[in-house]
Amino acid sequence: MDPTVRATLVGLNRTFYARFAVDFARTRSGWPAGFDRILPYLRPAANVLDLGCGNGRLLTFLAKHNWNGQYVGADSSRALLDFAEQAAVRAADAGARIDARFEFVDFAEQYWTSTLGTSAFDAITALAVLHHIPGRAQRTEFLAACQALLQPQGVLVLSTWQFLTAPRLRAHILPWETIGLTSSRVEAGDYLLSWGEGAVGQRYCAAIDEDELATEASPAGLSMGGSFRGDGREGNLNLYAMLQRVSPG
């Protein structure tokens, strides 16, 4: 992807989450049904890195299900991190035994992992993150960075939004000319979507299904250990996948 186009799309999403953080957090007050199905992969972990932690709803979910351990939440929205920190306080007040800390991390930066230190994690989650990273090559770089942060037997649990499966969501697709681009300047599977009443918000999203995810994960040294679709009115609006390091040799 052309660096100028990528910078435009990254800036678009930064602006969206800066402007709508409060309203967006309100729409994420609970958790989707898919969380129950990924819990078995997270429960054995002594430490979890939650990339794109948003308002801390995964932490709240883990606390409600009596998980305890070290939790690091990372997000590129300072406003959402504030909500996540508040969620951690509420969980602690309710008796949760989670040692939580939060880091501002810009996943568009080349060396974003340096903020997180040298720890290796039993489990990493990247829920609704990958489809906001413009460019296949850049998404593979992100996945490779996740792979490097995993313990040898660790698991990366991620989800991607399947917005093309529902007519009500497809109706939010906008022409690229809305932001001064054309379809020829973006990659196949790239979309511009509106958000909120009157389409006041606009976000970049990539359509990433099972085949596309496997294609992007393989060069990063990751293989899919399982996947399922769930959530939303239709029950299939998120693709969840569990990825692990490819064994040497």
- pLDDT the model gives residue 115: 87
Average pLDDT on 95-109 reads 93
Residue 28 scores a pLDDT above 70: no
Measured distance CA(161)–CA(113) in Å, rounded: 24
With a pLDDT cut of 70, the percent of the chain lying above it is: 98
| Total domains present in the chain | 1
Specify if 170 maps to a domain: no
Specify if 103 maps to a domain: yes
CATH code for the domain in which residue 238 is found: 3.40.50.150
Buried b (16+ CB within 10 A) or exposed e, 181-213: beeeebeeebbbbbeeeeeebbbbbbbbeeebb
Specify if 129 maps to a domain: yes
Specify if 231 maps to a domain: yes
Specify if 175 maps to a domain: no
Q: Which residue has the tokens 């306080």?
A: 89
Residue 249 scores a pLDDT above 70: no
Specify if 196 maps to a domain: no
Specify if 25 maps to a domain: yes
pLDDT tens figures, 43-76: 999 999 999 999 999 999 999 999 999 999 999 9
Task: State the residue range of the domain holding 215.
Answer: 3-162+207-245
**Is 143 within 8 Å of 137 (Cβ atoms)?**
no
Exposed, middle or buried by CB within 10 Å (0-12, 13-18, 19+), for 138? middle
- pLDDT the model gives residue 20: 83
- pLDDT the model gives residue 111: 87
Q: How confident is the model at residue 231 (pLDDT cuts 50, 70, 90)?
A: very high
Specify if 128 maps to a domain: yes
- pLDDT the model gives residue 18: 86
Residue 27 scores a pLDDT above 80: no
